[in-house]
Structure 1
Amino acid sequence: MVREAVFYARREEKKVKCLLCPHGCVISPGKNGICRVRKNMSGRLVSLNYGKVTALALDPVEKKPLYHFFPGRNILSLGSLGCNFSCGFCQNYHIAHGEPALYEIFPDELLSLALEEQSRDSVGVAFTYNEPLIWYEYIMDTAEKLKSHGLKTVLVTNGYINKEAFKKLLPLIDALNIDIKAFNEEFYRRHCRGDLKTVLDNVELAASCAHVEVTSLLIPRENDAREEIKGLAAFLARISPFIPLHFSRYYPAYKFTLPPTPEEILHQARDTAREYLHFVYLGNLPGEENDTVCLKCQNLLIRRRIYQVFPVGIRDGRCSFCGEELSYIVM
C-alpha cells in the first residue's frame, strides 16, 4: 500500500519538493528522496513504507531508553525501514540503509495488538529501531487511534523534521527519546548529513508538550570532548534540569571501526553533565548502576539492573520516604 505524503509541493515537469524534513528533496518522477521511502509517482509524492514493518517486539520501556516514563512497564515496539540521516556508525544500518524483509501491519491491526499487550503490562506503542519521523503518515493515523483508547505513543527519533510537520504530530505523542548525535555542527555535517540546530530546536519544542529524554552515543575523539559535553548538558538544563540524559557506549558498527568507548570517558561525561542536570545515565555498559534517587531526601526511588527495574521508593506518584511529589517521573 502506498499513501500520499502530507507535506510536499508540486514543481514544474512533475517534480515534487518534500517538505517533511530540512533536506527538502526535490524529486523527479520515479525517484526517491534521501530517506528512500518517499517517492515521486507521476508528480505525486507518496510514502512507500505505510504499514511496512521490519521488526516488532514487546520491550521494557527502559530499552528505548526512557527511565522516567512508566518505569518498570513494557511497550510494544516496532520499526520500518529507511532514514533521513547517513550516520556511518548506525547500529541498525540493516534496516536504515539496507533491504530488510517486510511485512504489513496497518493501523487498526496495530491498535488491536497494542490493546492485547496491555495484559502484559504494556503502556502503548513505541515507534523505534529505524527513524520513525519518515513513517509520518502511518504514525499520525495510528497515534490517533491509540490516544482514543488511552494508550501511549512514543518516538525514538533523531529529531530531524521541519517544525510545521512536528507541531502537527506532537499533540499525539506522549514521550520521545531524541538522539543528539553530538553538540557539534561539523559532526552533523560530516557524519550525519544533517544539522544540529534543527535537532536542538525540536528538542525544545518537544519538551514543551511531551515527556522528553535525550540520548548521545559517545564516540572516542569524535564527540566526547569535555567542552562539548558541557555544552550539551547546559543546553538541556536551560530547557529543564530534569530532562534525563543518557550517554551510550559506542561499539564498532556499519562503517565505523574505532574501538569501543573507554568506560572512563563515559564516567567523566556523566560527572560533567551532572554539574547541570539532575539525572544522567549510562547505556551499553553492562553492570553499571543507573538507579534513580529522590532529589529531596536522596533515598532510592528506582533500582535498575539492566532491564530489571524495581520502583522501590514510589507510592502514588510520591517518594515513599519523604512524600515529595515526583513530577519529573511519568507514571
Structure 2
Amino acid sequence: MSYEKEALYYNSLSNKEVKCSLCPHNCNIKEDKLGLCRVRYNNNGILYSLSYGKTTALAVDPIEKKPLYHFYPNSTILSVGSFGCNLSCGFCQNYRIAHSQPDYKYISPELLCNIAEDAKQTGSVGVAFTYNEPSIWYEYIYDTAKLLKKNDIKTVLVTNGYIELEPLKDLIPYIDAMNIDVKAFTESFYKKNCKGKLNDVKRTVEFCSKKTHIEITTLLIPSENDSSKEITDLVSWISSINSDIPIHLSRYFPAFKFKQHPTPENTMYLAKEIASKYLAFVYMGNIPGIDNNTYCKICQNLVINRNNYEVNVRGIQNNSCKECGNPINIAM
C-alpha cells in the first residue's frame, strides 16, 4: 500500500518540472527527482509527499525534554517523528532519521489522534512533532493538527523554523507551541554548516512570536557560534521581539560530521550571563546539575523547581507570581 499524498504548495513548470514553495529553498524538481528535503518527489509533473503518515519514532516524553519549560510544565507529551530534513547540519543529533529513511510504521491522522487521546489519561497534553524536521511533514501535520484541535489536544512543533510564510500562516492556527532552533546568528554559519539562511528563520520566529507560544534553542558549538558578540547579537534580537521568550542554550557534544571537543562549561556560563542581561528566562541544556529553575523576573520568587525532569510548580497562580502578582509567561 502506498501512503504518498499530493503535496501542497507547488507550481507546475514546463517539461513536467515543478517548483516547491513549502520552504525557502524553493526547489525546482525535475521529473522523477526529489527536493533537498528528500521527502518531496516529482512523479510525472505532480509533487508528492513521500512521508505522509510514515512514523519512525513514537514515545511519551516529559514536555521539558522538547525543551519547553513554559508550556504546561510537569506534564508529558506524545512525541512523534518521521524522516528527512530541509537543512543539512553537519552537527545533526538525529541524523539517522534526518538524513536517511529508517524503518517506519504508517499511522493515520485519525489513529494518531486516538493514541493522543489515550495518552491524556496518563498526563499527556498533546502531540509534539519532533525528532526530524516537522515542517517537511507538512500535509500530515496539517491534517492531524486540525483533528487534534477539535479534540482539545495540544499540538507542538520542534522545528528549525525553515518554512515559507504562506504555509506557516495556514498551519499556525492549529499550533499551540513551538520550540524553534536558531542554530546561530550569522548568515555565514547557516550557509556553511546548514545550507540555509538565517533571515528566513528570523522571519519565522518574529511571525510565530505573535501567534503562539514559542521558546528558542541554540546549540553552542566551539569556535563556530559561541563568541560573546554573536551571543549578544542573538539575545538582543530576541529581546527586541519579547524579552520574556525563554531561550535554551545547549552544550554541544560531537555528533554526525562534527568531531571537535564539547563546548567548555565556562563558555556556557558566560553565555548565560550575557543572555540574562537581555532575557528574563535563560536555561542551559546538557549540563547536569545546573540551576534551571524558573524565577519571577520581578521579585525572584521561585516559581518552578526543576531537578532534571522532576518538576514542581510551586510559585505560580493564575499565570502570575504568588508573591508579587507579576504575570509569568507560562501556559498552563
Matched with 2:206 is: 204
Matched with 2:294 is: 292
Matched with 1:164 is: 166
Match of 1:75 among 74, 77, 80: 77
Matched with 1:110 is: 112
Matched with 1:14 is: 16
Match of 1:174 among 169, 176, 197: 176
* Distance in 2 between residues matched to 1:325 and 1:233, nearest whole Å: 21
* Distance in 1 between residues matched to 2:106 and 2:244, nearest whole Å: 38
* Distance in 2 between residues matched to 1:65 and 1:329, nearest whole Å: 14
Matched with 1:152 is: 154
AA in 1 matched with 2:278: Y
* Distance in 2 between residues matched to 1:82 and 1:325, nearest whole Å: 39
Matched with 1:87 is: 89
* Distance in 1 between residues matched to 2:122 and 2:317, nearest whole Å: 21
Aligned pairs for 1:315-326 within 5 A: 315-326=317-328
- Provide the TM-score with structure 2 as the length reference: 0.98
Matched with 2:272 is: 270
AA in 1 matched with 2:143: D
AA in 1 matched with 2:184: A
Matched with 1:330 is: 331
Matched with 1:97 is: 99
Matched with 1:257 is: 259
Q: What secondary structure, in the 3-state scheme, does the structure 2 residue paired with 1:309 have?
A: strand
* Distance in 2 between residues matched to 1:325 and 1:36, nearest whole Å: 44
Runs of 4+ deviating beyond 4 Å: none
Q: What secondary structure, in the 3-state scheme, does the structure 2 residue paired with 1:46 have?
A: strand
Q: What secondary structure, in the 3-state scheme, does the structure 2 residue paired with 1:247 have?
A: strand
- The alpha-carbon deviation at position 216 of structure 1 amounts to 0.2
AA in 1 matched with 2:157: L
* Distance in 2 between residues matched to 1:126 and 1:90, nearest whole Å: 19
Identity of aligned residues (%): 54
Cα deviation, 1:123-142, whole Å, max 9, x if unaligned, reads 10000000000000000000
Aligned pairs for 1:223-242 within 5 A: 223-242=225-244
* Distance in 1 between residues matched to 2:110 and 2:68, nearest whole Å: 26
* Distance in 2 between residues matched to 1:18 and 1:255, nearest whole Å: 28
Cα deviation, 1:195-240, whole Å, max 9, x if unaligned, reads 0000001100000110010000000000000010001001000110
Cα RMSD between the aligned structures?
0.8
Cα deviation, 1:271-291, whole Å, max 9, x if unaligned, reads 001111001000011111100
* Distance in 1 between residues matched to 2:327 and 2:233, nearest whole Å: 30
AA in 1 matched with 2:69: Y
Cα deviation, 1:176-202, whole Å, max 9, x if unaligned, reads 000000001000000000000000011
What are structure 1's unaligned runs of at least 5 residues? none
Cα deviation, 1:221-270, whole Å, max 9, x if unaligned, reads 00000010001001000110000010001000000000100111011001
* Distance in 2 between residues matched to 1:9 and 1:145, nearest whole Å: 27
Matched with 1:187 is: 189
* Distance in 2 between residues matched to 1:246 and 1:296, nearest whole Å: 21
* Distance in 1 between residues matched to 2:127 and 2:115, nearest whole Å: 10
Q: What secondary structure, in the 3-state scheme, does the structure 2 residue paired with 1:295 have?
A: coil
- The alpha-carbon deviation at position 79 of structure 1 amounts to 0.4
- The alpha-carbon deviation at position 297 of structure 1 amounts to 2.1
* Distance in 1 between residues matched to 2:274 and 2:306, nearest whole Å: 22
Aligned pairs for 1:17-28 within 5 A: 17-28=19-30
Cα deviation, 1:38-87, whole Å, max 9, x if unaligned, reads 00011000000000011001011110000000011111001000000000
* Distance in 1 between residues matched to 2:256 and 2:208, nearest whole Å: 30
* Distance in 2 between residues matched to 1:99 and 1:133, nearest whole Å: 17
Q: What secondary structure, in the 3-state scheme, does the structure 2 residue paired with 1:298 have?
A: coil
Q: How many residues align?
A: 330
- The alpha-carbon deviation at position 316 of structure 1 amounts to 3.5
* Distance in 2 between residues matched to 1:319 and 1:5, nearest whole Å: 46
* Distance in 2 between residues matched to 1:297 and 1:253, nearest whole Å: 40
Single out whichever of 9-18 and 307-316 deviates more from structure 2: 307-316
Cα deviation, 1:154-189, whole Å, max 9, x if unaligned, reads 000000011111111111101000000000100000
* Distance in 2 between residues matched to 1:83 and 1:149, nearest whole Å: 29
Match of 2:65 among 60, 63, 74: 63
* Distance in 1 between residues matched to 2:330 and 2:314, nearest whole Å: 14
Cα deviation, 1:12-36, whole Å, max 9, x if unaligned, reads 0101111101111111111110000
